[in-house]
Amino acid sequence: MGKLRIGVLISGSGTNLQAIIDAIEAGELDAQIALVLSSRPDAYGLKRAADAGIQTVSLNRDVYADKEAADALIAQTFKQAGAEYLVMAGYMRMVGPIVLGAFEDRVINLHPALLPSFKGAHGISDAFDFGVKVTGVTVHFANAEYDKGPIIAQRAVPVLEDDTLETLEARIHEVEHELYPWVLGHLAAGDIAIDPQTRRVHIANT
């Protein structure tokens, strides 16, 4: 059995991409990044990938003007690169039905809150502004409904009395950088399965 080949989608600085790269290089994650695709040509994550010798592709706003064509291009690009799973790491666009069909139950997303609470692009600030005492990080399979796919793993992050939004964000990102490689490690080991009836995710050897 060869290394798990993953494709990573980014839009920004790529800190979670870097955490995955670091876990692979440290021998903690038996996987290979086949390709990094960015929705923005100026995303710093592209430099992180290039520095690690990983193939990159960057798209721009014009490509996304036709959502279906962009979706088809993304699916084809990752298929040609030999990606088995797609990993969204700060990708700020919703993947469409063509990608989800090409990689059925094989598109993974990271969300900085405990789903189903605080969906959307502002999960950290929404939770902080609401005054919750506990928030966290969720890794889930993506589906056609935004932030509603089957949950793979979650980790709680307490909101401290003296927290600011910035200090809470920093601690959530620390947990993201631990949890995402952990999930991918179990994926690479074949430990993760979705029950076809309940759609619940089960992780063996935990």
Active site residues: 111
Which strand ranges, in their side-by-side order, compose the sheet holding 151-158? 56-58, 31-38, 4-10, 85-88, 107-111, 134-141, 151-158
**To 10 degrees, what angle do helices 15-25 and 165-188 make?**
40
Q: How far apart are CA 33 and CA 124, in angstroms?
A: 28
Q: How far apart are CA 177 and CA 16, in angstroms?
A: 6
Chain centre distance of CA 102: 17
Residue 148 is classified by DSSP as -
How crowded is residue 33: how many other Cβ atoms within 10 Å of its Cβ? Answer: 24
